Amino acid sequence: MFRFFLGFIIGLAFAATAEAAAIKGVVEGGKRIKRSPVVVYLGDASGEFKKPVANPTLDQRYMTFIPHVLPIKTGTTVDFLNNDEVKHNVFSPDHEKYNLGTWPKGAIKQYTFDKKGVYTQLCNVHPEMESFIVALDTPYFALTDKDGNFELQDVPPGDYTIKVWHEKLRFKKQQIAVSEKGAENIVFRKQKRK
């Protein structure tokens, strides 16, 4: 009886995971991807999606922004936290443009990204500081690891356009079919210069 019950539970678990699966692949970009990761994402998704439990943070630490690239779903509020002994400023020259001011260690400012797009983050005290917030109209996105590998999780089966964003490199979008088992070996190759 217990075995039967256990089998039933495992069966349920499988049924639950079969509804959404992972898309795995690699972006071939060499050293540039080691320096700055790629955002991999699916084309615009409609529907209601859960907001992250906690706001993602863009740290100002060691005289730099951490992380260098922060993908978010539109509607997300980002916390900008100064962790350095010096004051930092945060502004973006992109889209609606904003300047959050200049603040000391331990203080947080916030900004909510309602429009999709790439927002360059800069500090007017330290011109070498730069990072990117990528606001997307989809909850299906991931950053590549240092070797360019990515995994988009919990994607429902269907046909999608999969795209990538990198601060320097450009890649062609692809049409992919995602089954209940997901999709594997999606490869983005660097575009040859004409």
Judged by CB under 5 A, the stretch of 2-10, 45-53, 84-92, 111-119 that binds Cu ion is 84-92
If you count DSSP H runs as helices and E runs as strands, how many of each does the chain have, helices first?
A: 2, 16
Spatial separation of the C-alpha atoms in residues 167 and 154, rounded to whole Å: 26
Binding mask 111-130 for Cu ion (x = CB under 5 A): ------------x-xx--x-
Task: Output the smallest distance, CB 28 to Cu ion, in A.
Answer: 34
Structure tokens belonging to residue 170: 């450009």
109 lies in the binding site for Cu ion (CB under 5 A)? no
Smaller CB separation from Cu ion, 59 or 151: 59
Spatial separation of the C-alpha atoms in residues 12 and 82, rounded to whole Å: 46
Q: Do 129 and 64 touch, CB atoms closer than 8 A? A: yes
Smaller CB separation from Cu ion, 20 or 125: 125
List interacting residues with Cu ion (CB under 5 A).
Answer: 88, 123, 125-126, 129
